[in-house]
Amino acid sequence: MNRMNPVSAIAVDIASATHVVFESRVADRISSLGATNAVVDSDCLLVGPSRMDTSEHVLARQAWWGSFVDPIGADNNIGLVVVVWVSSTNLRERVGLWRVCGRLHECGIRRKDIVVVELDPPFRGQDTHESAVPTWCSASELGTLPARLSEARPWPYERYRRAVRLWSQYTAADPRPLAQDCARGLEGFPELAPLWAFLSSFFPRKTSDGALLLSRFDELLMTVLSAEWQTPSAMVGRDLRSGMDLWRMLSCTGDLFLPRRLEHWADHDASAVVERAPGPKPPNAGYPMLSEVYRLTERGMRLRDKGLDQLTDAPNLPIAGTEAYSASAPWVLLEDGRLARL
Amino acid 71: pLDDT: 81
Amino acid 188: pLDDT: 92
- Partners of residue 317 on adjacent β-strands: 324
Query: In whole angstroms, what is the distance from residue 309 CA to residue 313 CA?
Result: 7
Amino acid 132: pLDDT: 52
Q: In 3-state terms, what secondary structure has residue 115?
A: strand
Amino acid 177: pLDDT: 96
Amino acid 27: pLDDT: 93
Amino acid 128: pLDDT: 46
Q: How far is CA 96 from CA 33, 104, 128, 230, in A?
A: 23, 12, 21, 33
Neighbours of 174 (CB within 10 A): 14
Query: In whole angstroms, what is the distance from residue 176 CA to residue 340 CA?
Result: 8
- Partners of residue 339 on adjacent β-strands: 333
Query: In whole angstroms, what is the distance from residue 33 CA to residue 146 CA?
Result: 8
Q: Which of 306, 294, 324, 276 is nearest to 207 (CA)?
A: 306
Amino acid 221: pLDDT: 95
Q: Which of 326, 301, 323 is nearest to 313 (CA)?
A: 326
Beta-strand relationship, 212-213 and 205-206? antiparallel
Q: What is the DSSP string of 5-49?
A: PP-------TTTSEEEESSHHHHHHHHHTT---EEE----TTSEE
What phi and psi values does residue 180 have, to the nearest 5 degrees? -70, -40
What phi and psi values does residue 54 have, to the nearest 5 degrees? -60, -45
Q: What are the 10-residue block averages of pLDDT along the chain, 342 residues in total? A: 48 86 93 92 95 94 87 68 92 96 91 90 52 68 81 91 97 96 94 94 96 96 95 93 83 93 93 94 92 96 95 96 96 95 92
Amino acid 141: pLDDT: 74
Element (H, E) at 274: strand 274-278
Query: In whole angstroms, what is the distance from residue 131 CA to residue 51 CA?
Result: 29
Q: Is 341 left (phi over 0), alpha (psi -120 to 50) or beta?
A: beta
Amino acid 13: pLDDT: 84
Amino acid 150: pLDDT: 84
Query: In whole angstroms, what is the distance from residue 342 CA to residue 332 CA?
Result: 6
Amino acid 153: pLDDT: 86
Residue 23 CA, distance from chain mean position = 14
pTM (predicted TM-score): 0.90
Query: In whole angstroms, what is the distance from residue 52 CA to residue 168 CA?
Result: 6
Strand order of the β-sheet with 331-333 is 212-213, 205-206, 331-333, 339-341
